[in-house]
Amino acid sequence: MTDDTTYETTRDSAGPAVPAGAAGVFGERLPLAIRYVEFLGTAGLERGLMGPRERPRLWDRHVLNSAAAASALGVGEAIVDIGSGAGLPGIPLALARPDLRLTLVEPLLRRVTFLEEIIDELGIEVRVVRGRAEEKGIIATAGDADVVTSRAVAPLAKLAGWSAPLLRVGGRMVALKGESAADEVERDRAALAKLDFDGLRVETVAAPDAEPTRLVIGTLATRMGHRGSRSRGGGRRGR
């Protein structure tokens, strides 16, 4: 593996220079993160998954920004990333935290194809499921998760409605939001309370050489049972 100094000064053919801080985030998987950024800067742009103006910001605004959410995730947790698109935040989380069990949920075929190509190229263990988060088949396949993540997918209330059925009781929604995160929480607090999300809060985290990431975090306290009754508890069902 090439040393960190080389990575700090290298400019790949498809995007910006690799930030010095990326080595601390991805460790020995830094070459895979570089390859992912190359994918975003070539196939991602060609297939319309990333805008051309985002090319200079692939590291700080997208990849490192997404990886910063790893600080809110426990060891070995099952993560479902809904509306994964070009793989954000799911792919950076998988690269930064190989202990996590990642499932990417994406409804559009062209994006699913892109994700599968990336996963195959990088040789990482990440599952891709095609469909919408609210579909019964997706809930059956990817549900009972410890954490549901998302990034730039929908307003918070709608996002919480999609996340709740995919979570185990005691599981967490971790939504990556912009500067208006606190305003969204206040606006949608009542809607999230109806879904039985407790401990709603905003945490600001940051990876080196990246924009701050605002995480909206809520814990699912109860869930509607199969007969319409609510169940409570923090344990997970048998897998």
- Residues annotated in a binding site for S-adenosyl-L-methionine: 83, 88, 133-134, 151
**Residues in the chain, overall count:** 239
With CA atoms as reference, report the closest residue to 163 among 199, 130, 138. 138
Run of H or E including 5: helix 4-9
Percentages helix, strand, coil for the chain (3-state, rounded to 5) are: 45, 25, 30
Residues 232 and 223: their CA atoms lie apart, in Å, by 7
With CA atoms as reference, report the closest residue to 128 among 167, 63, 71, 83. 83
Q: Are 93 and 79 in contact (CB under 8 A)?
A: yes
Burial of 138 (0-12, 13-18, 19+ CB in 10 A): buried
Q: Are 234 and 169 in contact (CB under 8 A)?
A: yes
What residue numbers does the annotated binding site cover? 83, 88, 133-134, 151
Q: Which own/partner contact pairs does 137-143 have at CB distance under 8 Å and 24+ positions apart?
A: 138/105, 138/166, 139/165, 139/166, 142/80, 142/103, 142/105, 142/166, 143/80, 143/167
Peptide bond into 19 cis (omega under 30): no
For residue 100 the two structure tokens come to 């996590």
